[in-house]
Structures are given as C-alpha cells and as structure tokens.
C-alpha cells in the first residue's frame, strides 16, 4: 500500500474503529455541499498540483468527492493533505459533525485558527507539516474527543509551531481519549 494511500485511509480507519461508525457515502446534504464549495472557493491552492479540490464541483455529490467522507449525508471527514494550500483556512466550524481533519503537507504560513475549537466532534486532527506557525493555541485543548493529534513538523525554523503558552500540561489536560500525540 502506498504511503499516500495510507495517509488518506488512516483517519477514516481510526474513526471507524474508535466510534463504530460505518462510513456510508449516500447523498450529500445540500447545505453540506454548499459549505464545502464555499470552503474550496476561499482556499488558495495550486490547481496544477491539486488532486482533490480541483475536482470538487456543483454537479457531483460531495460525498463522492476525493478527500470527503460522509455519514447520512453529513461530512464527517476531510482529507485536504498535499493540496498545496497556502494562506488561511476559514469556515471549517460550519461543518460541526466533522470527526476527522487532515491538513498535512500544505503551506498555510499562518497561525492555527482558534475557530478549530468549534469542531467539538473531532477525533483525528493531522496538522503535520502543514506550514502553520506561531504558538499552538490553547483552543486546541478544547477538542476533548481527540484520539489522534499530529502537530509534528520536519521544518526547524523560527516560523514553526511553538508550545510555550499553553505548555504541554495545559495542552493535554482535557485530552481524556488521546491515544496518539505527535509533537516532534
């Protein structure tokens, strides 16, 4: 199995194993598709390198889009890894049923948005090598259902993520279900 396929399947496997959710495609609810298209339109990404976002369109069921998984029409997982996304990311909080989010290997070059705290159902969050920089916001600690959190980076620079305030104890104090934590 290729590494790319493994990175794509891992979040969905973790969700399925840890919450007994049967991932079903089904028809995407209209408002979910609208939210995803709005998210896509607000993202800055390299369309020549995109293998997922470039194919999202109004005419296809969003539950069939590459990088999207649904349960009963609700988007529960987004894998936007390796999409050459830069800039910021907005409007994720409107996808309240989101359980898995993979933004690894992008180039955001901004701070982690505090609005991530609104994603209360997240069980899997992968921000590894996503280009986020600055302090890790305390709001990440409000994601109490996290089973896997990956904030690792191979970049060693002054623009990398910093774990200062909150410190490690403050960051993990609410993670009662955490099984995998990558901070390297």
Q: Is the pLDDT of residue 73 over 80?
A: yes
* Nearest in space to 119 (alpha carbons), one of 101, 89, 98, 104: 98
pLDDT at 22: 38
Strands (DSSP E) found in 16-143: 44-45, 68-71, 74-79, 85-86, 100-102, 124-126, 134-135
| pLDDT tens for each residue of 93-103 | 777 789 999 99
Average pLDDT (142-171) is 82
pLDDT at 51: 95
pLDDT at 5: 43
Residue 143: pLDDT band with limits 50, 70, 90: very high
* Lowest mean pLDDT, pick from 22-36, 48-62, 105-119: 22-36
pLDDT at 156: 61
Q: Is the pLDDT of residue 137 over 60?
A: yes
Residue 113: pLDDT band with limits 50, 70, 90: confident
The CB-side HSE value for 25 (13 A sphere, CA atoms) comes to: 8
pLDDT at 157: 59
CA 27 to chain CA mean position, Å? 22
Question: What DSSP designation does 130 have?
Answer: S
Please list, residue by residue across 58-87, b when 16 or more beta carbons sit within 10 angstroms of its beta carbon and e when fewer do: eeeebbebebbbbbebbbbbbbbbbbbbee
Q: What is the dihedral of CA 120, 121, 123, 124, to 10 degrees?
A: -80
């Amino acid at each position: 199995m290729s590494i790319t396929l493994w990175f794509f399947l891992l979040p969905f496997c973790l969700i399925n194993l840890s919450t007994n959710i049967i991932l079903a495609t089904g028809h995407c609810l209209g408002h979910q598709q609208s939210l995803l298209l709005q998210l896509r339109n607000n993202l800055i990404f390299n369309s020549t390198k995109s293998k997922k976002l470039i194919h999202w369109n109004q005419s296809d069921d969003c539950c069939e889009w590459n990088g999207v998984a649904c349960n009963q029409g609700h988007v529960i997982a987004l894998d936007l890894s390796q999409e050459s996304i830069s800039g910021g990311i907005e409007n994720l909080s409107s996808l309240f049923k989101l359980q898995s989010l993979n933004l690894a290997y992008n180039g955001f070059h901004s701070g982690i948005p505090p609005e991530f705290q609104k994603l209360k159902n997240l069980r899997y969050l992968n921000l590894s090598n996503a280009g986020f920089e600055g302090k890790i916001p305390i709001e990440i600690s409000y994601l109490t259902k996290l089973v896997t959190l990956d904030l690792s980076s191979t970049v060693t620079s002054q623009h990398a993520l910093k774990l200062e305030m909150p410190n490690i104890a403050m960051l993990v104090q609410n993670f009662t279900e955490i099984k995998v934590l990558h901070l390297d």
